[in-house]
């Protein structure tokens, strides 16, 4: 707390005690902290819009995850998009059961590119980290 904020709060408490007023209510804030679930490649990258925008992709770039429960090939499918809406691919089938269940139960998941490596070939050129935003609860 900064000095000015502390002094004004102290003055409010003192004024409330002296004049019988109401004490100001403390404003609690919950700041969600992302909890890392895993690192993986972006599956299916060559089949979507990623190759067209590959030169624009950067390590650390935020990604959006969208659950696709009606996907005909995988009922636990989670699509991966850039913040601009370009589809890059999917969370690999081997990694998607836990995050799909979390998303189905209302938890917010996010992702970011951890590496962009053209030398790794088109199937492994993008690595991402997947995170759950805790919002005050603990991941056990």
Residue 70's pLDDT is what?
A: 96
In this prediction the pTM is 0.72
Partnered with residue 79 across adjacent β-strands are: 66, 90
How sure is the predictor about 122, in pLDDT bands with cuts at 50, 70 and 90?
confident
pLDDT at 140: 47
More confident residue, 134 or 23: 134
pLDDT number for residue 15: 57
Tell me: pLDDT of 19 over 60.
no
Q: Which pair of structure tokens corresponds to residue 131?
A: 């995170």
Say whether pLDDT at 34 is over 90: no
Across the range 51-57, mean pLDDT stands at 92
Question: What is the number of H-type helices and E-type strands within the chain?
Answer: 3, 6
Q: If you search the block for the tokens 């004004």, which residue do you land on?
A: 8
Query: Whole-number mean pLDDT of the chain?
Result: 83
Nearest C-alpha neighbor of 61 from the set 133, 15, 111 = 111
Contact 88, 136 (CB under 8 A): no
Instruction: Please classify residue 97 by burial: count the beta carbons closer than 10 Å to its beta carbon, then call 0-12 exposed, 13-18 middle and 19+ buried.
Output: exposed
Residue linked to tokens 């060559």: 46
Q: What is the pLDDT of residue 20?
A: 59
| pLDDT (tens digit per residue) in 60-112 | 999 999 999 999 999 999 999 999 999 999 999 999 999 999 999 999 999 99
5/39: higher pLDDT: 39
């Amino acid at each position: 707390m900064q000095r000015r904020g502390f002094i004004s709060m102290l003055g409010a408490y003192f004024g409330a005690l002296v004049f019988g007023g109401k004490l100001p209510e403390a404003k609690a804030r919950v700041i969600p902290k992302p909890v890392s679930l895993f690192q993986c490649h972006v599956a299916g990258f060559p089949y979507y819009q990623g190759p067209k925008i590959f030169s624009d992709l950067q390590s650390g770039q935020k990604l959006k995850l969208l659950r696709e429960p009606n996907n005909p090939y995988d009922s636990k499918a989670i699509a991966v998009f850039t913040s601009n809406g370009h589809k890059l691919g999917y969370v690999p089938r081997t990694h998607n059961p836990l995050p799909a269940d979390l998303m189905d139960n209302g938890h917010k998941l996010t992702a970011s590119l951890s590496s962009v490596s053209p030398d790794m070939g088109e199937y492994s050129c993008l690595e991402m980290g997947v995170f759950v935003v805790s919002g005050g609860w603990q991941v056990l």
